[in-house]
């Protein structure tokens, strides 16, 4: 009886099925007691699935859907009897759709866990064909001869992070964005102002040399005035240098973080409302490169910037609105993260200067987002660059240092 296995409640349900002394006393009575117990267990499971607030899907080892919770029916747009017995891959888009059977087979033969007990961001597909980012945790159940998997799903576009957590995240990232934008501006200004200041100091030095040779009456007073002016120019230059150093040092709190979690939080923030704009988002994360050494808020800032830029360009310019976020382990202890869109591509007039401050094509844009991304990524020891996406659109890529297992042990 497959419905024995609701995750978490399996012991309780199995317990209710254990034959009692009276059930064993004769064949017929045993059968009816068993049937009653099974009915009761089934009813309990049904009521759990109807009331559990989470989206839950139970599948067997062939990947066939056994049960869905009501929330899952609602989330995917299917009634249980439309999908019961069908392959669960129907609830995911390509390429997972074609590959899900082999994921299952690989796990059943190798026991290698890539999602079970770990949890990952993947993409779900609703009955109407639209997709959404979701966080999936899979639990496993073995009972007697059978083997089941239970998926717990959180819809990330529907802001299933609690409101408080979401607000917290939002205010952290917004606060940091302003702070970094200010820093970036100060740094640019410092650079711009330093050049004329150096020129002033050089001219004054020249004047001083000329005045050293002059013999008219007021020359000493002029020399003194020019010396003081040069001192002040140097002092201003010094202040500016200190400001740049302060900004460059910044406040950074690097720890071992899960890239999947960073992406989950950042994309939830950035994708709020994206569903209304009919943007289809997919994630392809490399489980081999999940732990990174990063300042959580700064990297979220980078991701939010890149994803928001992509959504803006998709909403304004594209009919086919796809956004793909992926990560791939590199050979040199780095992981490459990419945010790719099917938008109109880069405007030629900004393409060359994209990562410099104040470069924008937007009427209300500051043109600071990408230069901030570069500052943050380079401070993390990574690189950021942009490429044309073959077939239209843009791909932003950046690298981050991965954290070894030893470092993870020391992380809190």
Contact window for ligand ADP (CB under 6 A) among 170-178, 184-192, 234-242, 366-374: 366-374
In the complex, minimum distance from the CB of residue 398 to ligand ADP, in angstroms, rounded to a whole number: 13
Can you say whether the dihedral through the CA atoms of 355, 356, 357, 362 is positive or negative?
negative
**Pairing status of strand 131-143 against strand 120-125:** antiparallel
**Residue window 287-326: x/- pattern of binding to ligand ADP, with contact defined by CB under 6 A:** ------------------x---xx--x-------------
Residues, the chain, total? 412
The site for ligand ADP, by CB under 6 A, has a size of 22
- Selected binder of ligand ADP within 19, 95, 273, 365 (CB under 6 A): 365
Spatial separation of the C-alpha atoms in residues 249 and 243, rounded to whole Å = 10
Distance CA 134, CA 129 (A): 15
Identify whether the C-beta of residue 361 lies closer than 8 Å to the C-beta of residue 286. no
d(CA 87, CA 125): 13
Cβ atoms 323, 282 nearer than 8 A: yes
Interface with ligand ADP, residue 361, by CB under 6 A: yes
206 binds ligand ADP (CB under 6 A): no
Stretch near ligand ADP under the rule CB under 6 A, chosen from 28-36, 88-96, 321-329, 341-349: 341-349
DSSP E strands in 69-195: the ranges are: 120-125, 131-143, 146-155
Q: Which of 150, 180, 341, 400 binds ligand ADP (CB under 6 A)?
A: 341
Q: Which of 29, 74, 249, 362 contacts ligand ADP by CB under 6 A?
A: 362
| Smallest distance, ligand ADP to C-beta of residue 370, A | 3
3-state secondary structure (DSSP) of residue 317:
helix
> Using alpha carbons only, how large is the chain's radius of gyration in Å?
30
* SS3 of residue 243 by DSSP: helix
Examine residue 394 and tell whether it contacts ligand ADP (CB under 6 A). yes
Would you say 52 or 359 has its CB closer to ligand ADP? 359
Residue in the shown chain whose Cβ atom is closest to ligand ADP:
369
Binding residue (CB under 6 A) for ligand ADP from 118, 141, 234, 346: 346
Closer of 104 and 368 to ligand ADP (Cβ): 368
The one segment of 8-16, 23-31, 233-241, 340-348 that binds ligand ADP by CB under 6 A: 340-348
Closest approach of ligand ADP to the CB of residue 337, in Å: 14
Give the span between the Cα atoms of 142 and 115, in whole angstroms. 17
Residue 347 is a binding residue for ligand ADP (CB under 6 A) = yes
Phi–psi pair at 341, nearest 5 degrees: -130, 160
Interface pattern 248-287 for ligand ADP (x via CB under 6 A): ----------------------------------------
Residue 170 C-beta: closest distance to ligand ADP, Å: 18
Q: Quickly list DSSP for 323-390.
A: EEEEEEE-TTSEEEEEEEE-SS---HHHHTTTTSTT---STT--S-HHHHHHHHHHHTT--EEEEEPT
151 forms part of the interface with ligand ADP (CB under 6 A):
no
- Largest Cα–Cα distance of the chain, in whole Å? 130
Decide whether 167 or 362 has the Cβ nearer to ligand ADP.
362
Position 350 contacts ligand ADP (CB under 6 A):
yes
**Assigned token pair, 19:** 């034959």
**Residue 294 beta carbon to ligand ADP: minimum distance, rounded to whole angstroms:** 20
Exposure string of 299-330, with b = 16+ CB inside 10 Å and e = fewer, is bbbbbbbbbebbbebbbeebeebbbbbbbbee
- Candidates 105-113, 145-153, 219-227, 357-365: pick the segment binding ligand ADP (CB under 6 A): 357-365
Query: Is the previous residue joined to 95 through a cis bond, with omega within 30 degrees of 0?
Result: yes
Q: How far is the CB of 205 from ligand ADP (least distance, A)?
A: 39
185 counts as binding ligand ADP under rule CB under 6 A? no
Per CB under 6 A, residues contacting ligand ADP are 305, 309-310, 313, 341, 343, 345-347, 350, 354, 359-362, 365-370, 394
């Amino acid at each position: 009886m497959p419905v024995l296995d609701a995750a978490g409640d399996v012991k309780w349900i199995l317990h209710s099925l254990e034959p009692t002394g009276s059930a064993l006393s004769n064949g017929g009575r045993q059968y009816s007691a068993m049937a009653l117990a099974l009915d009761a267990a089934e009813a309990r499971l049904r009521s759990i699935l109807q009331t559990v607030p989470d989206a839950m899907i139970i599948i067997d080892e062939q990947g066939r859907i056994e049960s869905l919770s009501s929330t899952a029916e609602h989330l995917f747009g299917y009634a249980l009897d439309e999908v019961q017995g069908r392959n669960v891959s129907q609830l995911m888009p390509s390429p997972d759709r074609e590959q899900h059977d082999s994921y299952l087979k690989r796990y059943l033969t190798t026991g290698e866990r890539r999602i079970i007990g770990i949890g990952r961001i993947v993409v779900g597909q609703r009955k109407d064909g639209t997709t959404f980012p979701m966080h999936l945790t899979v639990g496993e159940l073995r009972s007697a001869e059978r083997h089941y998997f239970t998926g717990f799903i959180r819809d990330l576009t529907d802001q299933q992070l609690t409101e408080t957590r979401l607000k917290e995240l939002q205010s952290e990232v917004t606060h940091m964005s302003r702070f970094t934008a200010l820093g970036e501006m100060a740094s640019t200004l410092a650079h711009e102002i330093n050049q004329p200041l150096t020129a002033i100091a050089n001219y004054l030095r020249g004047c001083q040399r000329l005045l050293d040779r002059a013999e008219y009456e007021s020359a000493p007073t002029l020399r003194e005035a020019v010396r003081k002016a040069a001192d002040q120019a140097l002092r201003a230059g010094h202040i500016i240098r200190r400001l740049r150093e302060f900004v460059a040092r910044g406040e950074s709190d690097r720890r071992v973080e899960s890239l999947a979690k960073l992406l989950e939080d950042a994309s939830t923030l950035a994708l709020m409302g994206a569903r209304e704009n009919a943007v289809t988002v997919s994630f392809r994360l490399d489980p081999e490169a999940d732990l990174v050494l990063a300042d959580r808020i700064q990297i979220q800032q980078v991701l939010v910037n890149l994803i928001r830029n992509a959504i803006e360009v998709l909403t304004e310019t594209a009919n086919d609105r796809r956004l793909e976020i992926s990560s791939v382990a590199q050979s040199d202890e780095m992981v490459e993260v990419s945010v790719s869109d099917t938008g109109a591509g880069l405007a030629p007039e900004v393409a060359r200067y994209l990562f410099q401050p104040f470069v924008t094509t937007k009427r209300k844009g500051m043109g600071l987002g990408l230069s901030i991304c570069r500052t943050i990524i380079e401070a993390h020891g990574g690189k950021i660059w942009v490429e044309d996406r073959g077939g239209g659109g843009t791909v932003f890529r950046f690298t981050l240092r991965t954290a070894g297992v030893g470092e993870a042990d020391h992380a809190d």
